[in-house]
Copies of this chain bind each other. A is one copy, B any other.
Amino acid sequence: MAKRKCMFRAVGTHEQHYGPKTVDSQAGRRNLGQTFHLVKTQSLRKEASVAFKDQFRDHPTLGFVDWVLRGVGQVVFQNNPISGAVILGGIFYNSWIYGAVSLLGTIISTLTALLFKADRGMVKDGLFGFNGALMAIALVAYTSKDFTHGDVPNGYLWLYIVLCAVFTSVLVPAFAALLGPHKVPGLTMPFVLATWFFLGALLQFTTIDVSNALKPTSPSDFTGPRPDYTWITWFHGITMGIAEIFFQDNWVTGVVILIAIAINTRIGALMALMGSALAVGTAVFYGAHDEAIRDGLFGYNAALTAMALGGFFLVLNLPGFLYTVIGVLVTARVWASIGIWLEPTGMPVLTSAFVFVTWLMLLAKPGFTVLIPVAPADATTPEENLQRHRKSQKR
């Protein structure tokens, strides 16, 4: 099974473009946990870890490592090198090949941004790295006989991945230019578009072969009796729904990624879990293929939408939560739909369902007065966004 894919996030934290935010949000971070009940009990440990997580961001030599790790973390919206390191560990646990290529993708993308002198604040926050990480895994996964662990790329593919990583870094400011005026982030669209472009081209080249996962078919309706779902459907569906964000067919990796998110934000981790679970619920309710659910294919886009809308780019008030649930339920359907639309070409959905639904629902925010948007440059964690909003209301 292989219609996979994944990932995200983009225009945040232009310090340069949006003015200095560090003072405010740094203060926000320090105070975090003192007023917000969910994390109240851990305020001391949290305060220490916050300080710890940012201490290498501006380091002259170790800074680059910090930015690359943040790049991995930004796939799931975590501007935190520790989260990135834990996720990377989870990927290496499943496959050293995927671990290595995702590192390569992140490094090349980040270097490209430095070479062309992109906004330094964005580079440091890992916002030029995460698309490269996902793209590199995707190109290896769809050219490997063994999708689960990946085959070692040949020399042609290594070079091909390098150029594609460069291109993803070009696409980051391109989508920022298009969506910036609407205060909507580019999300993982650079990864999706670059991978679609570079994956399709591989079919025309004899030096790199693609896997059977890219076999075109003609859409046909799934009829007949409802499959017999078991607890495995639910358990694997939900945990591998998280792991599939990084194309990993491994439920342990999914749990590790959840932990990595929780290190930085409990609400974010809850949202990811809820997104994946609601998507599995949708699939079970309407009767989807059991194998597709168990492979986590329904969940990964929905988990990302849940994190994006549930507290990150919208303050998590009650209408915001309802809006997030709608977004998650829609994303599960849109993933299924794009899969059908792409079948004649054989191309994978990747994280396109998440990107399209989240874009549309964020574009719509000025139309609904009960929603409280968070500008991409100010979005840090659901907890901090909520806290800052409450503060601003008290004044």
B226 adjacent to A209 (CB under 8 Å): no
Whether a CB of chain B sits under 8 angstroms from the CB of A51 is: no
Q: Please indicate the chain B residues that have their CB under 8 angstroms from the CB of A372 in the complex.
A: none
The 6 closest A-B pairs by CB, nearest first: A173-B367, A200-B337, A206-B287, A201-B336, A116-B368, A205-B286
Q: Which one of A234-242, A243-251, A260-268, A327-335 is at the interface?
A: A327-335
Q: Please indicate the chain B residues that have their CB under 8 angstroms from the CB of A225 in the complex.
A: 206
B204 adjacent to A336 (CB under 8 Å): yes
Report how far A285 CA is from B204 CA in the complex, Å: 12
Knowing A223-B209, A340-B345, A364-B174, the reply to whether A163 touches B329 (Cβ < 8 A) is: yes
Copies of chain A in the complex = 3
In the complex, how many angstroms separate the beta carbon of A154 from the nearest chain B beta carbon?
11
Whether a CB of chain B sits under 8 angstroms from the CB of A344 is: yes
Q: Please indicate the chain B residues that have their CB under 8 angstroms from the CB of A92 in the complex.
A: none
- Chain A contact patch, size range: 35 or more
Q: 8 Å CB contacts to B: which residues of A153-187?
A: 156, 160, 163, 166-167, 170-178, 182
Knowing A204-B340, A205-B288, the reply to whether A367 touches B172 (Cβ < 8 A) is: yes
Report how far A367 CA is from B221 CA in the complex, Å: 45
Report how far A163 CA is from B204 CA in the complex, Å: 36
Task: For the A-B complex with A156-B285, A177-B182, A200-B219 known, give 12 more contacts whose Cβ atoms are closer than 8 Å.
Answer: A116-B368, A117-B369, A118-B367, A176-B367, A197-B337, A201-B337, A202-B221, A206-B226, A209-B221, A209-B223, A214-B221, A340-B345
Whether a CB of chain B sits under 8 angstroms from the CB of A207 is: yes
Knowing A173-B368, A339-B204, A364-B177, the reply to whether A216 touches B218 (Cβ < 8 A) is: yes
Q: Which of A201, A202, A361 has the most CB of B within 10 A?
A: A201
